[in-house]
């Protein structure tokens, strides 16, 4: 490598077990396929077919609540509980697990128990939550595989809240643990974990003006800084500017999918409980868990100041108590916020915070009975007073405690469940009785549709293939456009619901709206014709059947008879069941499977391709066979010939693999395309033979993808290619079928 390897922070060079200078250090820009291999059966001690739903059904939830309740108020000497109650600590644990969620790519969130792994286990903002997790270990151990860490983290917070008098809206279990860090999450480009003092500009495109920068925050990030879940409690970059803090809060909470009212409800509701910890400057605190010595056994932030815990605890470096009743649900936080005069002061360690200097000392010390403190707040708390919109909402909440309670209940429920996907995945006795909420992407009941017999299915496929305006290319792209919106990160999208026929998806450029309308019109025609025979078939099923029929016909044209597996039972969502603004996030920037879009200044086209494949849970071979197969089927979004490396488009052949590897010496960049388009010139005739995109040529260039491409280009590969393509296609079509028993992740 021209620049030499990057050893990062580790100067020790192991000579065993994968030590030494690795390829990723020599060639740090090489396309990384690790995300396509994560969470494989090999990483999971239960293997791939673990049925968490079945395991969880053995949990006695009432007993679990009793166990958490007992733990909550049994202070442990090794980490004494403030006010004799771990409730607020568990709420922070739940919030920091869930609060990493961001709507743009659906990643983060509480759904996979990711706080057990780096970087989250060691983020500055998660300081001392290693203790909260360790406190819960006896409960996790007791319930074993029947209760995931992911569920326990958030359920502990939820139960704590109920125990402190807050009527929660409901709770759904069903978060299955993963066993490694999610490598697919882009946490930012900073080299420092928690850049302070004005250096925090990387994700703001260099902007240092925090009164104007909020909307500059790089997509898809959901926090103002590496190492934080959301915003700096001291104000932007540590500057105690309450109004500027509000701008950061609005942007980051907005990216979690929360509006202004939900945001105020969450902060004011959360800070009704507990306190912050900043007994000193932090100079006595040791390394975070991931850098801590072996003997600390996964715990970090060892504090040698005083006792190192209780009143000597250092967590955020801020020392604030929000309420007279920090272990009881009450409107104390908002009362204090709107009725006291706050002055900027310093915490014992020197961090900026606010104190009501002229108020009575009536807020209890967490450990010394009879000792009281004056009301205190964070800069980010005062944002709820000093931003005019937040101020109005805060006043409304203060004047109507029941309304505040209701809104906080709903926002807390959304926070904890936002990344769980369809409500068929929610388990346990505490599910709300009310109808699903709009952010849960509700679907109508399947009972309104006929059960399709095998004869119905083949009759429909024949009708589709015979319908005017429909062809292999547009049927395949429509089915792909419908199903491939799925993302495993928050389990949204997918073919069920036929939301491709609704806004905003019907207008996604990747779906080629004009061509899509032709297909939808024709399929709706078949739907009504079918209805006249007394049977109701969903448009969602018809879209998938259309793709399947096209593939079967393309295989036949190539001399292969096959049937694409089909799982009937999809339903059609209504427009008013579709959250247009957050579905907009499902629009791809680039979709190399359809040769749509291109890279950005930060990410290359092929990186978007791998990212999409990761969200579709595809392995490297599945990614490869799908791209090659879709090209054979002439399935570019715009019908163009880019990457259609076959002289017989529309036939399910392995031509793309053969021709890609066969014309290796002749590819050149097409001028003016910013290295997005390439052409191969026939050396004999001098004529352009093929054109291709980065999403094509990466398969000949990247060593691992090339190795797989070679398999499918082999002279013996035709049948393996069709079998693998059909399996990968059917997998994508069914990714969201959590309503089907036996589907991975369905309960
Ligand atoms: C504690 C900041 C939103 C619940 C804290 C601490 C900070 C903080 C600095 C103290 C950590 C420590 O030193 O121990 C913020 C900021 C927020 C925010 C900047 C957003 C602008 C929330 C939300 C919730 C919440 C949305 C829950 C709905 C809590 C609780 C504690 C806490 C319960 C007390 C933990 C304990 O007593 O140990 N927060 N927070 N916070 N936060 Fe927040």
Ligand 1 center to residue 114 CA distance, Å?
19
Ligand 1 surroundings by CB, under 6 angstroms: 82, 88-89, 91-92, 95, 230-231, 233, 249, 266-267, 269-271, 273-277, 315-316, 318, 378, 380
Ligand 1 atom nearest residue 317's Cα: 13
Closest-CA residue, ligand 1 atom 10, reads 276
Return the pLDDT at 456.
92
Return the pLDDT at 663.
74
**pLDDT tier for residue 16 given thresholds of 50, 70 and 90:** confident
Ramachandran class of 686: left when φ > 0, alpha when ψ lies in -120 to 50, beta otherwise: left
Rounded to whole angstroms, the Cα distance separating 721 from 632 reads: 11
For residue 360, the tally of other CB atoms under 10 A from its CB is 9
- Rounded to 10 degrees, what is the CA torsion of 137, 138, 143, 146? 0
Closest-CA residue, ligand 1 atom 6, reads 276
Ligand 1 atom nearest residue 272's Cα: 33
- Using the predicted structure, report yes or no on whether residue 29 has a pLDDT greater than 50: yes
Ligand 1 center to residue 64 CA distance, Å?
25
Ramachandran class of 223: left when φ > 0, alpha when ψ lies in -120 to 50, beta otherwise: beta
ipTM score over 0.95, yes or no: yes
Q: Is 27 helix (H, G, I), strand (E, B) or coil?
A: coil
- Probe residue for ligand 1, chosen from 95, 129, 414 as the CB with the greatest number of ligand atoms within 8 Å: 95
Whether 96 is catalytic is yes
Which of 120, 115, 159 minimizes the C-alpha distance to 139?
A: 159
132, 327, 431, 641 from 273: Cα distances, Å: 16, 6, 24, 61
The lowest-confidence range among 20-24, 280-284, 321-325, 393-397 is: 20-24
Tokens encoding 696: 């094509």
Closest-CA residue, ligand 1 atom 41, reads 270
Return the pLDDT at 19.
83
CB 578 within 8 A of CB 499: yes
- Which of 4 and 599 is assigned the larger pLDDT? 599
CB 745 within 8 A of CB 734: no
Q: What is the mean pLDDT of residues 43-64?
A: 94
**pLDDT tier for residue 3 given thresholds of 50, 70 and 90:** very low
The lowest-confidence range among 39-53, 260-274, 286-300, 358-372 is: 39-53
Ligand 1 center to residue 271 CA distance, Å?
6
- Probe residue for ligand 1, chosen from 123, 267, 303, 414 as the CB with the greatest number of ligand atoms within 8 Å: 267
Return the pLDDT at 9.
64
Sheet harboring 352-355: ordered strands across? 343-346, 352-355, 376-377
Q: pLDDT of 485-541, one tens digit each? A: 999 999 999 999 999 999 999 999 999 999 999 999 999 999 999 888 889 999 999
- Using the predicted structure, report yes or no on whether residue 197 has a pLDDT greater than 60: no
First to last CA, the chain: 49
Ligand 1 atom nearest residue 326's Cα: 37
Tokens encoding 216: 């500059």
Closest-CA residue, ligand 1 atom 37, reads 274
Q: Is 506 helix (H, G, I), strand (E, B) or coil?
A: helix
Rounded to whole angstroms, the Cα distance separating 707 from 699 reads: 9
Ligand 1 center to residue 379 CA distance, Å?
12
Q: pLDDT of 698-717, one tens digit each? A: 999 999 999 999 999 999 99
Rounded to whole angstroms, the Cα distance separating 654 from 634 reads: 13
Tokens encoding 192: 């420092």
* Most confident among 528-537, 582-591, 683-692 (mean pLDDT): 582-591
Q: What is the mean pLDDT of residues 235-250?
A: 95
Ligand 1 center to residue 494 CA distance, Å?
35
Return the pLDDT at 4.
46
Q: pLDDT of 287-319, one tens digit each? A: 999 999 999 999 999 999 999 999 999 999 999
Closest-CA residue, ligand 1 atom 16, reads 233
- Using the predicted structure, report yes or no on whether residue 369 has a pLDDT greater than 80: yes
Q: What is the mean pLDDT of residues 101-127?
A: 96
Q: What is the mean pLDDT of residues 245-260?
A: 96
Closest-CA residue, ligand 1 atom 8, reads 233
Ligand 1 atom nearest residue 269's Cα: 28
Query: In the chain, what are the helix, strand and coil shares in percent, each to the nearest 5?
Result: 45, 5, 50
Ligand 1 center to residue 191 CA distance, Å?
26
Q: What is the mean pLDDT of residues 195-212?
A: 77
- Using the predicted structure, report yes or no on whether residue 10 has a pLDDT greater than 90: no
Closest-CA residue, ligand 1 atom 38, reads 89
Rounded to whole angstroms, the Cα distance separating 355 from 276 reads: 13
Q: Is 344 helix (H, G, I), strand (E, B) or coil?
A: strand
- Using the predicted structure, report yes or no on whether residue 396 has a pLDDT greater than 60: yes
Rounded to whole angstroms, the Cα distance separating 327 from 89 reads: 10
* β 352-355/376-377 pair status: antiparallel
* Residue 541 burial by Cβ neighbours in a 10 Å radius (0-12, 13-18, 19+): buried
Return the pLDDT at 8.
58
Ligand 1 atom nearest residue 94's Cα: 27
33, 605, 666, 671, 691 from 676: Cα distances, Å: 20, 8, 16, 9, 11
- Which of 330 and 531 is assigned the larger pLDDT? 330
- Length of the chain (residues): 747
Could you say which of 96, 271, 277, 702 is catalytic?
Answer: 96
Closest-CA residue, ligand 1 atom 12, reads 276
**pLDDT tier for residue 145 given thresholds of 50, 70 and 90:** very high
Q: In whole numbers, what is the pLDDT of the chain averaged over residues? A: 95
Which domains, from first to last, does the chain contain? 1-30 (no CATH), 52-163 (1.10.520.10), 446-586 (1.10.520.10), 590-722 (1.10.420.10)
State the alpha helices, DSSP H only, in 322-423: 332-339, 379-386, 388-399, 401-417
Ligand 1 atom nearest residue 231's Cα: 19
Q: Is 669 helix (H, G, I), strand (E, B) or coil?
A: strand
**pLDDT tier for residue 665 given thresholds of 50, 70 and 90:** confident
- Using the predicted structure, report yes or no on whether residue 199 has a pLDDT greater than 60: no
- Probe residue for ligand 1, chosen from 91, 255, 312 as the CB with the greatest number of ligand atoms within 8 Å: 91
Rounded to whole angstroms, the Cα distance separating 18 from 12 reads: 13
Return the pLDDT at 1.
30
Ligand 1 center to residue 355 CA distance, Å?
17
Closest-CA residue, ligand 1 atom 24, reads 270
Ligand 1 atom nearest residue 99's Cα: 26
How large is the angle between the packed helices 703-713 and 620-632, nearest 10 degrees?
A: 50
Return the pLDDT at 682.
87
Ligand 1 center to residue 270 CA distance, Å?
7
CA atoms within 13 A of residue 150's CA, in its CB half-sphere: 24
Return the pLDDT at 254.
96
Ligand 1 center to residue 432 CA distance, Å?
26
- Using the predicted structure, report yes or no on whether residue 23 has a pLDDT greater than 50: yes
Ligand 1 atom nearest residue 412's Cα: 28
Q: pLDDT of 408-460, one tens digit each? A: 999 999 999 999 999 999 999 999 999 999 999 999 999 889 889 999 999 99
- Which of 9 and 686 is assigned the larger pLDDT? 686
Return the pLDDT at 745.
84
Q: What is the mean pLDDT of residues 307-336?
A: 97
- Residue 714 φ/ψ, nearest 5 degrees: -60, 155
Which of 389, 332, 338, 391 minimizes the C-alpha distance to 363?
A: 332
State the alpha helices, DSSP H only, in 289-359: 332-339
Ligand 1 center to residue 91 CA distance, Å?
9
Closest-CA residue, ligand 1 atom 32, reads 92
* Residue 350 burial by Cβ neighbours in a 10 Å radius (0-12, 13-18, 19+): exposed
């Amino acid at each position: 490598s021209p620049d030499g390897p990057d050893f990062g922070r580790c100067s020790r060079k192991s000579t065993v077990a994968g030590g030494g200078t690795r390829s990723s250090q020599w060639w740090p820009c090489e396309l990384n396929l690790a995300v396509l291999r994560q969470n494989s059966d090999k990483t999971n001690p239960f293997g791939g077919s673990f049925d968490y739903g079945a395991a969880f059904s053995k949990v006695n939830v009432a007993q679990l609540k009793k166990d958490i309740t007992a733990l909550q108020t049994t202070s442990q000497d090794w980490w004494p509980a403030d006010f004799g109650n771990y409730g607020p600590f568990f709420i922070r644990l739940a919030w920091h697990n869930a609060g990493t969620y961001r709507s743009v790519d659906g990643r983060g969130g509480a759904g996979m128990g990711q706080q057990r792994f780096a970087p989250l286990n060691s983020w500055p903002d998660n300081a001392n939550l290693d203790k909260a997790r360790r406190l819960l270990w006896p409960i996790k151990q007791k319930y074993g595989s029947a209760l995931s860490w992911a569920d326990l983290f958030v359920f502990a917070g939820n139960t704590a809240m109920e125990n402190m008098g807050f009527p929660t809206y409901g709770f759904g279990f069903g978060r299955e643990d993963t066993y490694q860090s999610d490598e697919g999450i882009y946490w930012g480009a900073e080299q420092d974990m928690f850049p302070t003092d004005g250096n925090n500009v990387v994700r703001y495109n260099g902007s240092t003006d925090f009164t104007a920068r909020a909307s500059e925050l790089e997509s898809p990030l959901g926090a103002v800084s590496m190492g934080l879940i959301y915003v700096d409690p001291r104000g932007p970059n540590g500057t105690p500017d309450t109004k500027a803090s509000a701008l950061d809060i609005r942007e980051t909470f907005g990216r979690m999918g929360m509006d202004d009212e939900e945001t105020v409800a969450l902060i004011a509701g959360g800070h009704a409980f507990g306190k912050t910890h900043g007994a000193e400057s932090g100079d006595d605190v040791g390394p975070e868990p991931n850098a801590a010595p072996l003997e600390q056994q996964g715990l970090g932030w060892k504090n040698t100041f005083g006792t190192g815990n209780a009143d000597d605890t250092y967590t955020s470096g801020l020392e604030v108590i929000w309420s007279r009743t920090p272990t009881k649900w009450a409107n104390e936080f908002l009362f204090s916020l709107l009725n006291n005069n706050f002055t900027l002061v310093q915490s014992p360690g020197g961090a900026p915070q606010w104190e009501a200097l002229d108020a009575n000392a009536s807020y209890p010390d967490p450990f010394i009975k009879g000792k009281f403190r004056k009301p205190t707040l964070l800069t980010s708390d005062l944002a709820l007073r000093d931003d005019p919109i937040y101020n109005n909402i805060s006043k409304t909440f203060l004047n109507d405690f029941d309304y505040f309670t209701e809104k906080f209940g709903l926002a807390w429920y959304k926070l904890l469940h936002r990344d769980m996907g369809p409500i068929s995945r929610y388990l346990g006795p505490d599910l709300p009785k009310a109808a699903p909420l709009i952010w849960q992407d509700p679907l109508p009941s399947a009972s309104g549709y006929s059960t399709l017999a095998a004869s119905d299915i083949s009759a429909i496929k024949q009708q589709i293939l015979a319908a005017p305006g429909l062809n292999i290319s547009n049927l395949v792209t429509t089915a792909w456009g419908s199903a491939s919106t799925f993302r495993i990160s928050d389990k949204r999208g997918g073919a069920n619901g036929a939301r491709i026929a609704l806004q905003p998806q019907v207008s996604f450029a990747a779906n080629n709206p004009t061509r899509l309308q032709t297909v939808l019109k024709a399929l709706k025609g078949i739907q009504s014709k079918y209805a006249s025979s007394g049977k109701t078939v969903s448009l969602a099923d018809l879209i998938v059947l259309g793709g399947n029929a096209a593939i079967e016909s393309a295989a036949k044209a190539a001399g292969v008879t096959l049937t694409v597996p089909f799982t009937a039972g999809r339903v059609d969502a209504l427009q008013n069941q579709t959250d247009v603004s957050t579905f907009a996030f499902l629009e791809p920037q680039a979709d190399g499977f359809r040769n749509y879009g291109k890279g950005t200044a930060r990410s290359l086209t092929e990186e978007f391709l791998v990212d999409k494949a990761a969200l579709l849970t595809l392995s490297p071979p599945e990614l490869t066979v799908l791209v090659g197969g879709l090209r054979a089927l002439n399935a570019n979004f715009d019908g163009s010939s880019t990457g259609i490396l076959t002289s017989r488009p529309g036939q399910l052949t392995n031509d793309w693999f053969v021709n890609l590897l066969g014309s290796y010496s002749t590819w050149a960049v097409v001028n003016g395309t910013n290295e997005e388009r390439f052409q191969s010139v026939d050396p004999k005739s001098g004529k352009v033979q093929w054109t291709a995109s980065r999403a094509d040529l990466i398969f000949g260039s990247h060593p691992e993808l090339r190795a797989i491409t070679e398999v499918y280009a082999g002279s013996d590969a035709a049948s393996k290619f069709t079998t693998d393509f059909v399996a990968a296609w059917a997998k994508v079509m069914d990714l969201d079928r959590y309503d089907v028993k036996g589907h991975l992740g369905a309960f």
